[in-house]
Structure 1
Amino acid sequence: MSVEQPLWRALIAYRLLTLCYVLALYAHAYGRLRHPLGAGAYMAVLTVWTVGTVGRLRGAERCTKGFLAADLTVALTGVLLTAVVDTPARIQAGAFTLPSIWTAGSVLAFAIKGGWRWAALAASLVAAADLAERRAFTRDTVHNVILVWVSGVAIGYVVEVARASERTLARALRIEAATRERERLARDIHDGVLQVLAMVKRRGDRAGGEAAELGRLAGQQEAALRALISGERAAAEDAPAGPRDLRGLLAPLASTTVTVSAPATPVPLDPVAAAEVAAAVGAALDNVRRHAGPRAHAWILVEDEDGTVLVTVRDDGPGIPDGRLAAAEREGRLGVAQSIRGRLRDLGGTATLISVPGEGTEVELRLPRHPPPPDPDAPPARTAAAAGDAPRIGGTGELTEANQGSTA
């Protein structure tokens, strides 16, 4: 919602309420006016104009410059007409003008529409009309003029600041959306294209001959893609309706070297969340096959706790050398950084990696069923690449490492 809309609604309420106040003042002073019928004619015009133009004040698009000029003309006419329909004695005694404080509504309309400069212009015209009607610089006249001028300029300035803040917020949201799309693309590319290119390069190097040339070209394309994915944008994918059973997505991962253990009852998750958790588990298994060897065994354990789904991927490989995780992320290898940690972070969950050299690696994916909304004031979390020497990194969506080191 635009930050201006509450101001327009407040202005409509102000004009209607002050119209009632002006009519009450007119009824109270009816017998003391020089020309009460002339004043009554103006009150009728003011009433019809105020009620009939409510729709014009529902937004900046409808409140045109022509309407603002006409509205201010109605207010100024009432101020100047006061000298004709009222007695000089009442005017000198400080009696209210015919539109009274309704006039401030015209100035506020200028302020909301065009900012403090427009408000200053409208307030100056009102001040000139007041001085012309009073024909003297009385204390009450000066007080009213300053009050209208200052309030109009102040509100106009606040509106300009609010608009600037709204534009800044819109830019920030666009940048955040673009960043998330780039991270999603990086995960998808890592899970498919990059791994195929890396495999072609390795096998080409081993085969030699023409296959070596093919491997060299594949390696070049892999490096180019790793540099490109940080600047590309991915289209959002349509998510299927209804919850999905996480067990059904993880069961196909079972093999002679992968054991899947899950509860006997369904583990329902939001379709997007279920797909992302399954993809993160797949990325963890890819790392096991690549770095622990084809004979390494992996175990997937699914636990449906109270309000939380916990998936653990453990292997009996050699573990991860110290510093490998940070080095891989610096090289642009985003397997852990995006395919695992990034997915869980986007879902409001956490990813924990524990690796002891010689004793295998364990990846723990924890996802709350109802993740808390993100805190817009929270500082960005530090990653393993940024922390470098931090042994453990906590917080929503962070990958916690007992031993730093990584896979691609």
Structure 2
Amino acid sequence: MGIERPFWRAIAVYRVASLCYAAVLLLSAGGYARPVAGWAVFAVMALWTAGATYWYASRPGRVLVATDLLVTVVCLLASRYVQGPEAGPSGVMPVTATWVGGPVLAWAVYGGRRAGATAAIVLSAADQWVRGARELDFGVLLKGAVLMLMAGVVVGHVARLAKQAEARLQRAVEIEAAGRERERLARGIHDSVLQVLALVQRRGQEIGGAAAELGRLAGEQEVALRELIRSEPAPPDEHSESSRALVDVSALLRRLGTASVTVSTPAAPLLLPAAHAREVAAAAGAALDNVRRHCGADARAWVLADSGEGTVIVTVRDNGPGIPDGRLREAEAEGRLGIARSIRGRMADLGGTVSVVSHPGQGTEIELTVPVPEDDRGPRTGWRGLEWRTWRP
């Protein structure tokens, strides 16, 4: 609502100015053929101008914009009765005058280009009915209908861009605030917990035996904690209003990094809707779970994120023994559906694809490709001309 307030104020000024112009026309025409009806229509216009100005400033909604259009159409159609024979000739301004442009602008700000164009078409049709089919003048039509249509489309486009800019600014402010908080927490954690974990890892390696295993675990927790405090905040809840917000998939993937898992992501963000980003990260996590389960504790894995033509591509590769031919079909027949459901199922729900390449003794490579929704596509990011962030233990 914040960025829309200036629009509603500007529309209110336009309504008041148009109302004054309509009053001047009524006075100059002596109230037209039926002065009482003319001033009654003007009174309705004045009351609605005051009410609409207040309601749009407080809480605009679908009912309000629909009522706004209906009231304006009724006042416009009343011109044929108020003006009498004068309503037919081309070029004669209706009783409403330019006041009919208010709903077009309001629909454009509230609903965007298409809504503004729809309101313009409805009011143009009503205006043509007032003038009469026999009195069609393309010059008047171009000056009226086309101008209203252009106003609705242009104002709707500008309003949409303003809303997008406000959302991006809000996101940037939230990220900046979260970054400052993470830095504050990181300083305290670095001076206490991380130093203790690093000491345990070092001493465990020096002592050897069972202490070496404790040292290795402490090292992994140190790495995970470092990555946690430097990564982005958790994406919004799937059922919240902000679930449509874009989330950097790279930030979620970097949380998967451990002493045995190297995560490489581009410096520029790979943006997806929050729900999609979580599913991609979960699928990559399921692939890493398979590496730990089937390749042993000493196996290493690499996660690489990149972008393609309207897609985000995540590759998980390991140096394990590989998957024998037909093993995946056997596992699925036995009811082991790790890849079938946790990975392929997730990608299928997002409209993506999964490619598995494996040879015995040469490791396994799983490539996840998920399309970026059309409305969320921005400039391409990836390896071309950009710096890469590679996390290594």
Shorter-chain TM-score bucket reads 0.5 to 0.7
Distance, in Å, in 2 between the alignment partners of 1:169 and 1:63 is 23
1:24 corresponds in structure 2 to 24
Distance, in Å, in 1 between the alignment partners of 2:186 and 2:98 is 61
1:117 corresponds in structure 2 to 114
Distance, in Å, in 1 between the alignment partners of 2:40 and 2:197 is 85
1:237 corresponds in structure 2 to none
> What CA deviation, in whole Å up to 9, does each residue of 1:31-69 have, x standing for no partner?
6x211111111111111221133211105xx22222222
Call closer, same or farther: CA 1:204–1:128 in 2, change over 3 Å: closer
Q: Secondary structure at the match of 2:92?
A: coil
- Written as runs of structure 1 = structure 2, the 5 A alignment for 1:211-360 is 213-214=210-211, 217-218=214-215, 220-232=217-229
2:38 corresponds in structure 1 to 39
- Written as runs of structure 1 = structure 2, the 5 A alignment for 1:52-131 is 52-59=51-58, 62-89=59-86, 91-92=88-89, 94-131=91-128
Which amino acid is 2:12 matched to?
I
More deviation in 188-197 or 96-105?
188-197
Q: Quote the offset at 1:175 in angstroms.
A: 3.5
1:194 corresponds in structure 2 to 194
- Written as runs of structure 1 = structure 2, the 5 A alignment for 1:4-23 is 4-23=4-23
Q: Quote the offset at 1:201 in angstroms.
A: 4.7
Unaligned regions of 5+ residues in structure 2, if any? 232-386
Which amino acid is 1:48 matched to?
L
Does structure 1 conserve the Cα–Cα contact (< 8 Å) formed by 2:198 and 2:222? no
Does structure 2 conserve the Cα–Cα contact (< 8 Å) formed by 1:3 and 1:163? yes
Q: Secondary structure at the match of 2:93?
A: coil
Distance, in Å, in 1 between the alignment partners of 2:70 and 2:47 is 15
Q: Secondary structure at the match of 1:11?
A: helix
- Written as runs of structure 1 = structure 2, the 5 A alignment for 1:353-372 is none
More deviation in 71-80 or 83-92?
83-92
- Written as runs of structure 1 = structure 2, the 5 A alignment for 1:155-174 is 155-174=155-174
Q: Secondary structure at the match of 1:3?
A: coil
Does structure 1 conserve the Cα–Cα contact (< 8 Å) formed by 2:15 and 2:99? yes
> What CA deviation, in whole Å up to 9, does each residue of 1:89-124 have, x standing for no partner?
464152211111111001111111111111111111
1:142 corresponds in structure 2 to 142
Does structure 2 conserve the Cα–Cα contact (< 8 Å) formed by 1:120 and 1:149? yes
Unaligned regions of 5+ residues in structure 1, if any? 235-384, 388-408
Which amino acid is 1:173 matched to?
V
Does structure 2 conserve the Cα–Cα contact (< 8 Å) formed by 1:15 and 1:102? yes
Distance, in Å, in 1 between the alignment partners of 2:388 and 2:75 is 68
2:362 corresponds in structure 1 to none
Call closer, same or farther: CA 1:108–1:199 in 2, change over 3 Å: same
Which amino acid is 1:231 matched to?
L
Call closer, same or farther: CA 1:34–1:186 in 2, change over 3 Å: same
Q: Quote the offset at 1:152 in angstroms.
A: 0.9
Distance, in Å, in 2 between the alignment partners of 1:152 and 1:198 is 63
Call closer, same or farther: CA 1:133–1:188 in 2, change over 3 Å: same
Does structure 2 conserve the Cα–Cα contact (< 8 Å) formed by 1:72 and 1:122? yes
Higher helix share: 2
Does structure 1 conserve the Cα–Cα contact (< 8 Å) formed by 2:108 and 2:152? yes
1:263 corresponds in structure 2 to none
Which amino acid is 1:165 matched to?
A
Which amino acid is 2:28 matched to?
H
How many residues in Structure 1 have an aligned counterpart in Structure 2? 233
Q: Quote the offset at 1:149 in angstroms.
A: 1.0
Q: Secondary structure at the match of 1:86?
A: helix
> What CA deviation, in whole Å up to 9, does each residue of 1:134-187 have, x standing for no partner?
122211233111111110111111112222232233333334444444443333
Distance, in Å, in 1 between the alignment partners of 2:124 and 2:87 is 19
Q: Quote the offset at 1:218 in angstroms.
A: 3.9
Which amino acid is 1:78 matched to?
C
Q: Secondary structure at the match of 1:98?
A: coil
- After TM superposition, the score normalised by the length of structure 1 is 0.51
Does structure 2 conserve the Cα–Cα contact (< 8 Å) formed by 1:35 and 1:86? yes
Call closer, same or farther: CA 1:220–1:17 in 2, change over 3 Å: same
Which amino acid is 1:23 matched to?
A
Distance, in Å, in 1 between the alignment partners of 2:388 and 2:40 is 75
Does structure 2 conserve the Cα–Cα contact (< 8 Å) formed by 1:178 and 1:233? no
Call closer, same or farther: CA 1:79–1:230 in 2, change over 3 Å: same
Call closer, same or farther: CA 1:161–1:38 in 2, change over 3 Å: same
Does structure 2 conserve the Cα–Cα contact (< 8 Å) formed by 1:182 and 1:231? no
Does structure 1 conserve the Cα–Cα contact (< 8 Å) formed by 2:197 and 2:222? no
Which amino acid is 1:109 matched to?
A
Distance, in Å, in 2 between the alignment partners of 1:10 and 1:66 is 21
Distance, in Å, in 2 between the alignment partners of 1:128 and 1:386 is 57
Does structure 1 conserve the Cα–Cα contact (< 8 Å) formed by 2:204 and 2:214? no
